[in-house]
Amino acid sequence: KAVDMWSVGCIFAELQGRKPLFPGTDHVNQLATILDVLGTPHVERELRHVPEKARRYIAGLPPSVGKPMRSLYPNASNEALDLLGGMLCWDPSQRCTVVQALSHPYLVAFHNPEAEPVATQPFDFDMGAVDAQEALFAEVVRFRPELEQHRLPKVEQKAKRTRLPSHDLGPRPMHPPPAQPATSLPSTDRSWPRYGERGTGGLGRPAPSGGGSACGSGRDLPSRAVAPGRPRVGQSA
């Protein structure tokens, strides 16, 4: 969906700049940041999907011309900026689709439809903690085969999860596993292919004046407030 492409664009922008592009202390501050980067949209043409009250609010703000994407990401390729611009459009109907994004020059070299099966029906990723742990360990073993000897059978894992706490408070010797020789992970270094000038084979529209990492326009950011700790022994509450 279009909102998902906005979110992907936010993540892609963070990968390019190594930091959020749309940080905000609340939804109002975040909206101001988005306007500062993307520029003020055309209220009637680009904000048709926005409630009337929100459109009046945006229309009443000082106009912003936005920031050139090249100034925000000087090391990004033209193809990367073009793809980012296609995902971060104010108007959801103008954002690129998943199929268009995968066919974009920035990603086309890594897109193989024959190796990307499509589910014929909805499926559920729901799994228990033990199943998730097993799947994670299997992924680690792919790169560190010598760790296979430390894998616990599922039955034993579940038993460890459900075992009642022991009342034996005596010391128990710890026997750590023998140290394994360090092995380096396989190299994943690869260079992105270079394509033609900006717009060649792209989405047919220029990159926007800015990018984003709000990952959802106008939504409140999670609160970072930390509840006060419990008073120590001897201290009054």
Residue 69 domain boundaries: 2-113
Whether the CB-CB separation of 84 and 13 falls below 8 Å is answered with yes
Rounded to an integer, the average pLDDT of 128-141 is: 81
6-59 pLDDT, tens digit per residue, is 999 999 999 999 999 898 888 888 889 999 999 988 888 888 888 888 888 888
Give how far Cα 143 sits from Cα of 132, 148, 149, 160, 185, Å. 18, 11, 14, 26, 6
Rounded to an integer, the average pLDDT of 168-194 is: 46
Whether the CB-CB separation of 25 and 221 falls below 8 Å is answered with yes
Query: Which residue would you say has higher pLDDT here, 161 or 47?
Result: 47
* Mean predicted lDDT score pLDDT of the chain: 72
Query: Which residue would you say has higher pLDDT here, 1 or 155?
Result: 1
Distance CA 149, CA 140 (A): 13
Whether the CB-CB separation of 56 and 179 falls below 8 Å is answered with no
Residue 44: strand, helix, or coil? helix
User: Is 84 within a domain?
Assistant: yes
**For position 27, what pLDDT does the model report?**
86
Query: Which residue would you say has higher pLDDT here, 175 or 32?
Result: 32
Residue 233 CA to its chain's centroid (Å): 43
Tell me: pLDDT of 155 over 70.
no
Kindly report which listed range (37-41, 96-100, 177-181) carries the lowest average pLDDT score.
177-181
State which amino acid sits at residue 53. K
Most confidently modeled of 46-55, 96-105, 168-177? 96-105
CATH number at residue 47: 1.10.510.10
The answer on 142 and 59 residing in a single domain is: no
The answer on 134 and 87 residing in a single domain is: no
The answer on 87 and 20 residing in a single domain is: yes
Pair of tokens at residue 175: 């026997």
**For position 164, what pLDDT does the model report?**
42
User: Is 179 within a domain?
Assistant: no
Tell me: pLDDT of 201 over 70.
no
Percent helix, strand, coil in the chain, to 5, is 40, 0, 60
Tell me: pLDDT of 235 over 90.
no
The closest alpha carbon to 84, from 61, 103, 106, belongs to 106
Task: Output b/e per residue, 63-102; b: 16+ Cβ within 10 A.
Answer: ebebbebeebbeebbbbbbbbbbbbbbbeeeebbeeebbb
The answer on 141 and 48 residing in a single domain is: no
The answer on 145 and 75 residing in a single domain is: no
The answer on 65 and 136 residing in a single domain is: no
User: Is 49 within a domain?
Assistant: yes
